[in-house]
């Protein structure tokens, strides 16, 4: 359809037809974006780094054991 045809069709529409057409068109309402997956990932990351041992303050073996156990807890979602 060309612009001229569309303009002619709009000129021929009665007010009642226009109202019924506008009633069928969904409004420009607000949209809600689901951010729960992102929030859960961020919570896991924050949980891990809040309890993770500092590698320069412990021995490597202690750091490795502790970080592995914390990682498993975070992945399982124990504290979330």
Backbone angles phi, psi at 52, to 5 degrees: -70, 140
CA distance 49 to 33: 27
- Site of tokens 């961020």: 42
Tens-digit pLDDT string for the chain (80 aa): 788 888 888 888 888 888 888 888 776 677 788 999 999 889 888 887 777 777 788 788 888 888 788 778 777 876 55
Q: What is the pLDDT of residue 39?
A: 92
Cα gap 77→48, rounded to integer Å: 11
* pLDDT at residue 73, as a whole number: 78
Per-residue confidence (pLDDT) for residue 79, from 0 to 100: 59
pLDDT score of 38: 93
């Amino acid at each position: 359809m060309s612009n001229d045809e569309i303009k002619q069709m709009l000129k021929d529409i009665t007010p009642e037809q226009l109202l019924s057409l506008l009633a069928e068109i969904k409004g420009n309402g607000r949209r809600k974006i689901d951010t729960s997956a992102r929030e859960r990932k961020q919570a896991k990351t924050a949980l891990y780094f809040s309890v993770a041992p500092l590698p320069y303050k412990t021995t490597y073996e202690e750091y490795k054991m502790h970080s592995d156990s914390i990682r498993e807890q975070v992945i399982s979602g124990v504290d979330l």
